[in-house]
């Protein structure tokens, strides 16, 4: 016998023949004597428990059927046409996607509630989400008007308090009263608006009833009421008894053509003479005489200093240093440093001469020694450590000096002249003999030939005048 499955409203869903299963709806519907219906029945129960949870809506829903949309984590109900959210506030730090009119959203970053209207015309609407409240974000803390009850000896008073960043700035009341519990900045509350005394708060704006000030008097009625005659005027010359502070970077302007300005930019102060090619001078009274120690020339940009100048710290000059006096430049320091931080380059002193052949004394960076000269020809300046006693081992590299014992080694020595004959009776002279003197001395004792042998000469050896030296073997 076939089953006829009816809906709540009496309508028929489907008729199921015996031994079959029907998939017309989201659930499996079993006919009489269907084998294996237990698994399908259990799956139907699970589907009902999870409301068909999934990323896609059920394919054959019935009106009133529930579906949990795992894309948005929302319960939705089928209205006969489509699945619609069932209501409730959505939470998150970004607005929900695909909202429906009437949806609520709690912004977890700002702790604010929004309702989706789909209308973007309101200034409080963001992509159709209208702010419900509060008017301030969590980061802004309490800001705006808040209705409060303040106790007093005359009973509780209802007031409207204005907060900014969790600080009460003002209280609006319909009557005067004194709070019986401490209210920071509000020892007494007046009818109307009372400002927080700890903030130094004031009203700022235009009051047409006080556009004119009576300046006939200078006696202040109280410490908080100032007589009009004590205000500084802009239409006449006036003096002030206290200091003057201009709390604006636009600063101060002087002169009928605004020639002098003092301005501030990024905490940097600029004193400017704004007239073209005009000077800026700083004068002093020296014993009744006006002197100008500093003069800035507008036409050239030159700076003139008159008098002694004392500098504490470094003087850095990027251009040339010109000393126009004929006096000698004096420095009290024991050392004069050049090429400070300039790298490994030649540096020293240049003495200008009338012609182009200037004289130089400088450190030769490539050779690592001092060099001097003029006219483009320079040579090393020898130091005591550059000397050597061995001229044979250090040819053409160092100048000569004796050792502590008075010794000096050279490869050869040429004297400027032969010299006079060596006297046979002179045994005290320390002069160095030349080859010519030695040859002359030898000629005095024989011929041009001198023999050295370990044996005595025979009758056939040598010629007249020869000298024969016999040495031991």
Q: What's the total number of domains in the chain?
A: 5
- Residue 428, Cβ density class (10 Å: 0-12 exposed, 13-18 middle, ≥19 buried): exposed
Tell me if residue 452 falls in helix, strand or coil. strand
Phi and psi for 165 in degrees, rounded to 5?
A: 60, 40
- Same domain membership, residue 124 and residue 89: yes
Last residue of a domain, one of 76, 110, 133: 133
Decide if 303 contacts 319 (C-beta within 8 A): no
CA dist 362 and 169 (Å) reads 75
User: How do residues 194-204 score in pLDDT, each as one tens digit?
Assistant: 999 999 887 77
Give the DSSP H or E segment for 244: none
User: How do residues 321-352 score in pLDDT, each as one tens digit?
Assistant: 777 776 777 778 888 888 887 788 999 888 88
- Same domain membership, residue 121 and residue 155: no
Please report whether residue 364 resides in a domain.
no
Query: What are the beta bridge partners of residue 126?
Result: 129
Please report where in the chains the tokens 């499955």 appear, as a residue: 5
- Same domain membership, residue 188 and residue 70: no
How many Cβ atoms sit within 10 Å of the Cβ of residue 194?
20
- Same domain membership, residue 186 and residue 66: no
Phi and psi for 43 in degrees, rounded to 5?
A: -65, -35
Q: Region of 51 please: left (phi>0), alpha (psi -120 to 50) or beta.
A: left
Phi and psi for 413 in degrees, rounded to 5?
A: -135, 130
Please report whether residue 356 resides in a domain.
no
- Same domain membership, residue 186 and residue 96: no
- Same domain membership, residue 81 and residue 179: no
Last residue of a domain, one of 260, 286, 306: 306
With a cut of 70, list the residues of the chain below it in pLDDT: 87-88, 123-124, 206-212, 326, 356, 424, 442-451, 465-466
Could you say which DSSP state residue 32 is in? T
Q: How far is CA 179 from the centre of its chain?
A: 52
Please report whether residue 358 resides in a domain.
no
Listing DSSP states for 318-373 in one string gives SS-----SSSPP---SS----STT--S--EEEEE--SSS--EEEEEETTTTEEEEE
Please report whether residue 102 resides in a domain.
yes
- Same domain membership, residue 124 and residue 13: yes
- Same domain membership, residue 300 and residue 238: no
Last residue of a domain, one of 133, 154, 175: 133
Q: What's the pLDDT score for residue 450?
A: 66
Please report whether residue 107 resides in a domain.
yes
- Same domain membership, residue 199 and residue 91: no
Residue 440: C-alpha distances to residues 415, 423, 428, 466 (Å): 16, 11, 19, 14
> Closest Cα partner for 47 from 60, 36, 33?
60
CA dist 446 and 466 (Å) reads 5
- Same domain membership, residue 21 and residue 107: yes
Please report whether residue 438 resides in a domain.
yes
Domain coverage including residue 439:
414-473
Decide if 291 contacts 308 (C-beta within 8 A): no
CA dist 350 and 419 (Å) reads 46
Q: What's the pLDDT score for residue 209?
A: 54
Please report whether residue 326 resides in a domain.
no
- Same domain membership, residue 267 and residue 290: no
Q: What's the pLDDT score for residue 123?
A: 67
CA dist 469 and 311 (Å) reads 85
Please report where in the chains the tokens 């959210």 appear, as a residue: 85
- Same domain membership, residue 434 and residue 423: yes
Please report whether residue 403 resides in a domain.
no
């Amino acid at each position: 016998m076939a089953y006829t499955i009816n809906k709540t409203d009496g309508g028929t869903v489907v008729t199921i023949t015996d031994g079959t299963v029907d998939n017309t709806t989201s659930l499996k519907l079993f006919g009489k004597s269907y084998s294996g219906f237990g698994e399908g029945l259990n799956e139907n129960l699970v589907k009902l428990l999870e409301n068909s949870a999934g990323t896609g809506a059920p394919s054959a829903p019935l009106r009133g059927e529930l579906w949990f949309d795992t894309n948005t984590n929302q319960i939705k109900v089928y209205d006969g046409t489509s699945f619609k959210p069932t209501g409730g506030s959505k939470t998150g730090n970004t607005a929900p996607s695909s909202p429906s009119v009437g949806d609520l959203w709690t912004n977890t970053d700002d702790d604010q509630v929004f309702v989706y209207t789909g209308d973007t015309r309101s200034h409080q609407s963001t992509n159709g989400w209208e702010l419900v409240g509060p008017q301030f974000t969590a980061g802004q803390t309490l800001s705006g008007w808040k209705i409060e009850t303040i106790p007093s000896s005359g009973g509780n008073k209802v007031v409207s308090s204005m907060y900014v960043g969790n600080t009460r700035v003002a209280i609006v009341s319909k009557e005067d009263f004194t709070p019986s519990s401490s209210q920071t900045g509000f020892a007494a509350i007046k009818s109307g608006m009372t400002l927080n005394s700890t903030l130094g708060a004031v009203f700022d704006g235009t009051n047409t009833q006080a556009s004119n000030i009576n300046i006939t008097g200078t006696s202040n009625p109280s410490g908080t009421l100032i007589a009009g005659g004590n205000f500084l005027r802009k239409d006449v010359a006036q003096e002030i008894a206290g200091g003057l502070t201009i709390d604006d970077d636009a600063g101060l302007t002087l002169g009928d053509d605004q020639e002098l300005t003092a301005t501030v930019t990024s905490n940097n102060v600029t004193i400017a003479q704004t007239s073209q090619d005009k000077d800026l001078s700083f004068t002093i009274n020296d014993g009744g005489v006006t002197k100008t120690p500093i003069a800035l020339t507008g036409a050239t940009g030159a700076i003139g200093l008159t008098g002694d100048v004392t500098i504490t710290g470094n003087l850095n000059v990027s251009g040339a240093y010109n000393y126009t006096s004929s006096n000698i430049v004096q420095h009290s320091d024991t050392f004069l440093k050049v090429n400070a931080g300039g790298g490994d380059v030649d540096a020293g002193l240049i003495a200008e001469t009338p012609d182009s052949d200037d004289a130089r004394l400088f450190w030769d960076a490539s050779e690592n020694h001092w060099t001097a000269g003029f006219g483009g020809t320079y040579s090393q300046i020898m130091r005591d450590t550059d000397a050597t006693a061995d001229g044979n081992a250090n040819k053409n590299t160092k100048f000569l000096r004796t050792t502590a014992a008075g010794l000096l080694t050279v490869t050869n020595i040429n004297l400027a002249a032969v010299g006079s004959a060596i006297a046979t009776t002179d045994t005290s002279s320390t002069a160095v003999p030349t080859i010519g003197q030695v040859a002359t001395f030898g000629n005095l004792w024989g011929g041009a030939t001198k023999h050295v042998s370990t044996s005595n000469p025979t009758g056939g050896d040598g010629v007249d005048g020869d000298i024969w030296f016999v040495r031991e073997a």
